[in-house]
Structure formats: structure tokens, C-alpha cells
Amino acid sequence: MQRAADRIDTGKSPFIAAYECRGTWSESMSEAVSTGRSVLITGGNRGIGLAIAESFLANGDKVAVTYRSETDLPEGILGVKADVTDEASIDAAFKVVEEAHGPVEVLVANAGITKDTLLLRMSENDFTSVLDTNLTGAFRVIKRASKGMIRLRKGRVVLISSVSGLYGAPGQINYSASKAGMVGIARSLTRELGSRGITANVVAPGFINTDMTAELPEETQKSYLANVPAGRFAEASEVADVVRWVASDEAAYISGAVIPVDGGLGMGH
């Protein structure tokens, strides 16, 4: 692993048209050939973020991830310690990535936290700290990345939201609000920078097959699955494939969109 912590303290929707042109989503994604772009994923050292990083790396891109806790990363991924709640930390991380890989051309805003509790038990800090990391943190990294993208007159921004941000969830007022706000960022960014060749989209995963879900009691897993028409949890790689496709040239005319990867869980949101 490379580590850089020591250096810093047609009348048809675009989706239908894309589907008909390529036959299937999987075929289209597999054909999204890389041009060796500079890709940065925040919170990319584990879970969905790591799966996204590995997907871009396998496609030939130059991949960097930010992390807060020391961890091992696959060979070829540049790890940069950064705190998305601190602007100076973000700027320092970008400088390391730009020195190693050039200006960031694809940014995936994935870093996030949860502090779940019911409304009457939720402190103001529980609420604001989640928004500061998930939503304002996304704003900070997008603002920094946009400087290089504007100069290049091209760029891809993908925000990792959640179905919780689209239809809400009990005990997650803070988290749901932070993830819902990403839609506004993506759509405002599209109107502001779309003419510069920059797209901004939201990917909203549902239940993902992770170590955390595997540890849930069997009855809890069954209750979750009962609401998913697909009848299973998604694999992190399935989310990663959608993110990589949305960041490809094939999706250049898609911007301001919200793409759920949830097995039908949030239909109608």
C-alpha cells in the first residue's frame, strides 16, 4: 500500500436510453473503459468506499482514498489521512493526491458517520456533528475538487447518499437529513458547473451485505429483507459498479440524478 499520512497532519429518460443503447446495465458498466483518471474517494478505506476504490483501480484509474484510522489498503491505492470536518486537512490531502496523480477528475464523497437515536434523546451535537461530517464534509471536498475540475473543464462528482435520505428512518433524523441534503448539492452543482463539463450525481444504496449486517440477529435480517423486493442485501461491489459507471464517459449526459441501488426498497421516493 502507498501511504501519505507522513506528509500531512429523445423523450426517453437518460437511463432508458442508456439501457437500450447497451442492452443491459452490466454490459454498459463493463464497457466503461478508463482513461487513467485521478480518482479520490473519501472514507475509502473500508466497506462501500473500499469497494468503489477497488473498482476504479481494476479499471485502470489512479486511485486515492482518505481515511481517519490507520488501516491496510490494497496495493496500488494511495491512502491519505484526512478529516472532512477540517478544511486545512482536506486541502493538505488534496495537495498530496495532486502531486502523486494530478488534479482530481473523479471525486466520490463517501465519508460519513451515524449517531442513531430517537428524536427526544438526540442532542444538538448528535445532530450537528453528523451533518458536519456527512453533508458539510461533502461540501468541503467538492469545493476543493471543483477548482481543478473547472480548470480542466471536466469532472465527475458522485455523492454516496442512502435510501434513508430519500424516505427517512426512525432514529435517523440527523443521518437522513445529511443524506437528503446531498441531492440539493448535486442538483445545484449541476446547474452551476454543468456548462464546464462537470457532472454531479447521487447514488443511494439500500441494505448492503457487510460485516455489520452479518452480525444482526436472524430475525432482524428477515424483517429487513421482507421490505426488499429483490429478497437479498446488495453486495458492496454492486454499489461500486454503479458509481464507476456514473463517473464514466458513457454517463456524461446524466447529471443531477439520484440512482438507488436498493433492490426496489425505496420505490416511489
Q: Which residues are catalytic?
A: 175
In Å, how far are 35, 52, 56, 121, 192 from 61, measured between CA atoms?
A: 7, 12, 6, 44, 27
Distance of alpha carbon 153 from alpha carbon 163, whole angstroms: 31
Inter-residue contact 77 to 57 (CB < 8 Å) = yes
Backbone angles phi, psi at 85, to 5 degrees: -90, 0
CB neighbour list of residue 65: distance below 8 Å, 6 or more residues apart: 40, 41, 42, 43, 44, 45, 49, 50, 53, 73, 77, 78, 79, 80
Q: At what angle do helices 173-193 and 137-152 cross, to 10 degrees?
A: 20
Half-sphere exposure of 38 (CA within 13 A, CB side): 18
β-bridge partners, 79: 3, 65
Inter-residue contact 52 to 44 (CB < 8 Å) = yes
Grid coordinates representing 174 are 440527523
Q: At what angle do helices 137-152 and 87-101 cross, to 10 degrees?
A: 40
CB neighbour list of residue 195: distance below 8 Å, 6 or more residues apart: none
